[in-house]
A = this chain, B = another copy of it.
Amino acid sequence: MLIVMRKSATDEQIDRVLEVAKSQGLTPVPIPGAQRTAVGLTGNQGAIDPRPFQELEGVRECIRVSRPYKLVSRETKPDDTAVTVHKTKIGGGDLGLIAGPCGVESAEQALTIARHVRKAGATLFRGGLYKPRTSPYSFQGMQEQGLGIIEDIKAETDLGIVTEVIDRSSLDAVLPVVDMVQVGARNMQNFRLLRAVGQCGKPVLLKRGMSATLEEFFMAAEYILSEGNYGVVLCERGVRTYLDHTRNTLDLAVIPAVKDLSHLPIIADPSHAAGIRSMVRPLALAAAAAGADGLMVEVHHEPDKALSDGPQSLLPEDFDKLARAAKAIHQTQQAQTA
């Protein structure tokens, strides 16, 4: 932490900062400048709360230096983490493909789509049983009734299964069946749920919150890692901005930023960012070119009848093309980087 004093700060005020710092077990280092003095604080273990100093007389600003995340930091673990989900490795250099409907609606619907996406090259199946919906009057998912369907899909297709959990009881319900649990954007700071999935023993797909900073995203992952679960895959799905031509604004710069600061893999969900089918493909290709470790894409064979997110779901034949194109872009990107 750096405490910047006002130009007009008196020696007494500076001394008071030193005192407060020492009383907190910190080592203050005064840095006298031409115009003003600053005080560096060292000796801390984690992040220092900037704010106790903020209101002292003569203090103009407290500037945080340490980052609060530890286990997710590349400084802690320099090598890339690869997370194995069923037979797929996410983060090892390949482009992982997770695909399926927004929600599981029936055995026939889910199986039809699962067969399609496997043929197109996906190795992981997504399909929500517990749907967090903005309206209490919307379809909330098949919940426990859909568990058998998911088991059947896995048995028939050998696809790994990814599904969302929204609280402790839904987590308990899906754990025996799934290969990866997903924490959705609305629950990125549901800290009780983060701790629970941290203890669940399965890989976790952590979606970025609607307006999460990168640091908050990392701290949410830190909750999971701090419970001993290192199998975390981050997922960029767009953030809320003033823009109105897509549902959310896909922040692709977060991909190189994550790779710089953390060892965790990161994938992109172009479907939720786009909100509309015609935008999914360009955003998917862009994510692959930016270095994403995978893509999660919504697919539905009858999007007009989908109970949720139909309009942003790709038709199976369009997913075929997208999968092919994304892999080609990924290979080009890898070849050019090598």
Partner-B contacts on A (CB < 8 A): 2, 4, 6-8, 20, 29, 31-35, 38, 40, 42-47, 49-52, 54-55, 61, 63, 65-66, 68, 75, 78, 132-137, 140, 166-168, 186-187, 189-192, 194-195, 209-211, 213-214, 216, 219, 222-223, 226, 239-246, 249-257, 260, 273-274, 276-279, 282-283, 285-291, 303-304, 310-312, 321, 324-325, 328-329, 332-333, 335-337
Contact = CB atoms under 8 A, between A and B. Distances in A.
Number of copies: 4
A187 B75 CA distance: 32
B75 A8 contact: yes
A336 B329 CA distance: 9
Contacts of A189: 132, 134, 186
Given A31-B31, A135-B222, A52 B311 contact: yes
Nearest to A24: B304
A257 B282 CA distance: 10
A interface majority secondary structure: mixed
Given A219-B135, A289-B285, A336-B328, A42 B32 contact: yes
A63 B65 CA distance: 8
Nearest to A247: B253
Nearest to A254: B245
A159 B21 CA distance: 37
A304 to B, nearest CB: 5
25 contacts: A2-B38, A2-B65, A31-B42, A32-B42, A34-B42, A34-B44, A38-B40, A38-B42, A50-B311, A51-B310, A52-B303, A55-B278, A55-B311, A61-B65, A167-B168, A167-B192, A187-B190, A190-B190, A214-B245, A239-B241, A243-B253, A249-B253, A250-B253, A325-B336, A332-B332
